[in-house]
């Protein structure tokens, strides 16, 4: 017997199918023959019994006719002949009765037949007496009375025979129905066995097809994939590259081809052995695959060289993906035998468009671009065909994103505070917005708009948010150490990455406990666009943190069309009105009306309002007239470094305490 479980299953399956088919044939032939024989026997017996009963009825009717003819004729000779006919019909009746009695009968049939026999005796006596009276000289009245008794007896016999015939028909129908049910049962059994055979055969067929397909797939996979990393090999990569080239030529599509060469891989391979090198390649390829699009093709085309085909990809997106890969590999820590090892990667990038001459040239250009990237310092992307100044600019911008994960080490970020002034009476709290700034290599402050969008795309802003919260809370704790009852509130903006992070709420609560500051000392800002985009996550975070008296503000409120419609589902404490609306209220009545409407809604819902981008006294005065609670902008105060601002708060608070 074969030890291969698949072959064993197929062999047993075919044996089972053949056995079932044989059983089906045997049951079909034997049971159908049995049913046919039973039905034939039943029909013969039924026909014979019915025929005998009908003959008995005919004899009874004929005897009645004979008596009636004897009564109607006055000729005694004719009456005597009728008398002889009466005896003949009686003999026929008896013969039919004997035939009927010879068959097997049910209890009801036997009972009816017994009644008929008893009544036939009475009827015979009445018939014979009536016939004898007709041959005598008895008065007519006596003869008629006897004839009536004979007729009555005949009718009772006929009624009983009718019942017997009907009962016989019922018995026959009952037997036929039972035979049909039995036949249906046999048919169901045969059907079930047939279905079992069919499904077994189907399973075997699927098993054979699946195994054949699996074997073919394995053969094809081995022919088109790298054995170590399971990535597409050079041959398959060239095939897909050719299809992308044809697509670009025929459909005007744009694709990107990247050539990746690992930096410092040979050193690890030589110092730690090929086993370490193989494991590193497996881990790196898995990491890269998890961070590219599902329809992109990553291939191993050499020892530590890889190809990446980005189908349907613009230049900007291709650069973003390539820089993301550089960041991933640069920050990836490979642990091997208590050693922490790092590698880098250089990437050459070339676009495949309708103008691309051929695949060989594109591969050559990508390879050359990769070497240029290595010569330029490694761990970077070089775009074939772009101006060198543009390449350097793109490298500079995206290098900030690559270093965000190590922000605490490189210390490129700094925090600033901008005053939020109360413009109504009775507002004593000192309020500030926390602003994040990035310093480039020359120490120049970089606008957040230059690096935050890219950081969001790479899901790195959650790290930045946590860094900002940690640093802000640390600075606040210093203020609380000096002034335990300080009345300060700082506004910290959180990103989409944090909104969709399940552990963010726990992190914030942990920081409150760690630094022991008042829960209303920090207000978390969420932009209106992100709140709408992630309405459920936003509501969940707000609900979780408001239980701890943590306040929330909606930033850039009024920029969306449906601002008011979703506001009732977000229990916030402040509305920070979009600066683009605030800047125009001095000369745009529509914007002024919008600000007034937002303020009115805020008052109804017990939400305070903050106007951003207040740049002049005219705007400030109109905001006061409208009833806005707070204002923020360069007219009221420019951003200051957080440590400087905290020191000023300490001094002013202490001076105020001394005066009072």
Contacts of residue 620, Cβ cutoff 8 Å, sequence gap at least 6? 423, 614, 631, 635, 636
Task: List phi, psi (to 5°) of 73.
Answer: -95, 150
Cα separation, 572 vs 422, whole angstroms: 19
Give the 3-state secondary structure of residue 382.
strand
The CA distances from residue 378 to 260, 312, 368, 381, 518, in Å, are 11, 27, 14, 8, 48
> Measuring CA to CA, how many Å separate 341 from each of 283, 305, 327, 333?
13, 19, 15, 6
Q: What are phi and psi of 212, to 5 degrees?
A: -65, -45
User: What CA–CA distance (Å, rounded) separates 143 from 131?
Assistant: 9
DSSP secondary structure code for residue 404 in this structure? G
Q: Which of 226, 263, 296, 304 is catalytic?
A: 304
φ, ψ at 549 (rounded to 5°):
65, 25
Convert 144-179 to b/e letters by CB count within 10 Å (16 or more is b). Answer: eebbebbbebbebbbebbeebbebbeebbeebeeeb
Cα–Cα distances (Å) from 658 to 22, 62, 613, 644, 651, in that order, read: 109, 145, 35, 21, 11
304 is catalytic: yes
Half-sphere exposure (CA, 13 Å, Cβ side) for 254?
Answer: 8
State which H helix or E strand residue 436 sits in.
strand 430-439
3-class secondary-structure state, position 295: coil
What value does the CA radius of gyration of the chain take, rounded to a whole number of Å?
A: 52
Q: CB–CB of 611/645 below 8 Å?
A: no
Whose CA is closest to 67, among 97, 89, 52? 89
What sign results for the dihedral spanned by CA atoms 355, 361, 365, 370? Answer: positive
- Interatomic CA distance for residues 551 and 548, integer angstroms: 9
Three-state DSSP state, 574: strand
CA dist 366 and 66 (Å) reads 124
User: What is the rounded distance in angstroms from the CA atom of residue 300 to the CA atom of residue 532?
Assistant: 43
The strand pair at 608-611 and 574-577 is best described as parallel
Strands (E), 494-648: 522-527, 551-557, 574-577, 608-611, 630-631, 640-641
Question: Which of 256, 383, 399 lies closest to 327 in space, CA to CA?
Answer: 399
Closest CA to 579 of 603, 607, 614: 614
**How far apart, in whole angstroms, are the C-alpha atoms of residue 655 and residue 62?**
144
CA distance 52 to 105: 14
Q: How many Å apart are CA 362 and CA 252, to the nearest integer?
A: 17
Pairwise CA distance, residues 564 & 570, whole Å: 10
Instruction: Give 493's strand partners.
Output: 525
Q: Cβ-count burial of 386 within 10 angstroms (0-12 exposed, 13-18 middle, 19+ buried)?
A: middle
Is residue 300 within 8 Å of residue 226, measured between CB atoms?
yes
Catalytic residue numbers read 304
């Amino acid at each position: 017997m074969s030890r291969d479980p698949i072959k064993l299953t197929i062999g047993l399956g075919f044996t089972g199918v053949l056995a079932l088919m044989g059983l089906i044939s045997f049951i079909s032939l034997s049971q159908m023959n049995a049913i046919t024989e039973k039905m034939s026997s039943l029909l013969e017996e039924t026909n014979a019994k019915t025929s005998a009963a009908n003959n008995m009825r005919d004899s009874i009717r004929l005897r009645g006719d004979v008596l009636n003819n004897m009564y109607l004729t006055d000729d005694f000779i004719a009456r005597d002949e009728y008398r002889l006919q009466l005896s003949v019909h009686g003999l026929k009746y008896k013969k039919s009765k004997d035939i009927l009695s010879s068959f097997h009968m049910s209890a009801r049939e036997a009972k009816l037949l017994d009644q008929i026999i008893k009544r036939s005796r009475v009827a015979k006596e009445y018939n014979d007496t009536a016939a004898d009276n007709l041959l005598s000289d008895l008065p007519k009245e006596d003869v008629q009375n006897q004839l009536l008794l004979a007729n009555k007896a005949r009718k009772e016999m006929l009624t009983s025979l009718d019942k017997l015939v009907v009962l016989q028909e019922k018995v026959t129908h009952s037997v036929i129905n039972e035979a049909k049910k039995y036949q249906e049962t046999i048919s169901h059994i045969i059907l079930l066995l047939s279905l079992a055979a069919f499904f077994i055969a189907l399973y075997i067929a699927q098993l054979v097809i699946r195994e054949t397909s699996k074997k073919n797939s394995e053969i094809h996979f081995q022919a088109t994939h790298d054995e170590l990393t399971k990535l597409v090999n050079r041959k398959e990569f060239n095939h897909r590259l050719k299809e992308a080239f044809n697509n670009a030529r025929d459909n005007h599509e744009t694709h990107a081809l990247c050539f990746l060469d690992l930096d410092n891989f040979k050193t690890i391979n030589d110092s730690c052995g090929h086993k370490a090198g193989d494991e590193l390649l497996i881990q790196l390829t898995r990491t890269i695959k998890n961070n590219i699009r599902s329809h992109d093709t990553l291939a191993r085309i050499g020892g530590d060289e890889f190809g990446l085909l980005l189908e349907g990809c613009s230049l900007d997106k291709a650069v973003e993906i390539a820089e993301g890969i550089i960041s991933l590999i640069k920050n990836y820590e490979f642990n091997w035998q208590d050693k922490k090892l790092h590698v880098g990667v250089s990437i050459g990038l070339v676009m495949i468009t309708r103008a691309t001459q051929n695949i060989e040239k594109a591969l050559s250009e990508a390879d050359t671009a990769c070497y240029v990237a290595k010569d330029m310092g490694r761990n970077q992307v070089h775009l074939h065909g772009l101006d060198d100044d543009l390449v350097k600019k793109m490298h500079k911008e995206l290098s900030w994103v690559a270093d965000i994960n190590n922000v605490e080490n490189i210390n490129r970020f700094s925090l600033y505070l901008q005053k939020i002034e109360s413009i109504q009476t009775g507002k004593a709290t000192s309020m500030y917005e926390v602003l994040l700034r990035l310093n480039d290599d020359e120490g120049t402050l970089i606008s957040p708009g230059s690096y935050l969008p890219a950081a969001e795309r790479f899901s790195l802003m959650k790290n930045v948010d946590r860094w900002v919260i940690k640093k802000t809370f640390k600075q606040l704790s210093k203020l609380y150490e000096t002034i335990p009852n300080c009345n300060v509130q700082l506004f910290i903006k959180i990103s989409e990455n944090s909104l969709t992070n399940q552990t963010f709420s726990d992190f914030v609560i942990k920081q409150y406990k760690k630094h022991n500051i008042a829960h209303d000392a920090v207000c978390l800002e969420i932009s209106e666009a992100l709140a709408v985009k992630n309405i459920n996550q936003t509501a969940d975070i707000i609900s979780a943190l408001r239980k701890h008296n943590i306040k929330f503000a909606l930033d850039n409120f009024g920029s969306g069309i449906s601002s008011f419609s979703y506001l009732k589902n977000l229990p916030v404490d402040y509305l920070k009105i979009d600066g683009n609306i605030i800047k125009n209220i001095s000369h745009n009545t529509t914007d002024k009306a919008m600000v007034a409407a937002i303020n009115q809604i805020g008052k109804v819902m017990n939400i305070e309002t903050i106007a951003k981008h207040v740049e002049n006294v005219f705007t400030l005065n109109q905001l006061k007239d409208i009833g806005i609670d707070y204002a923020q902008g360069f007219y009221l105060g420019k951003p200051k470094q957080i440590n400087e601002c905290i020191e000023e708060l300490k001094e002013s608070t202490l001076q105020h305490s001394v005066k009072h």
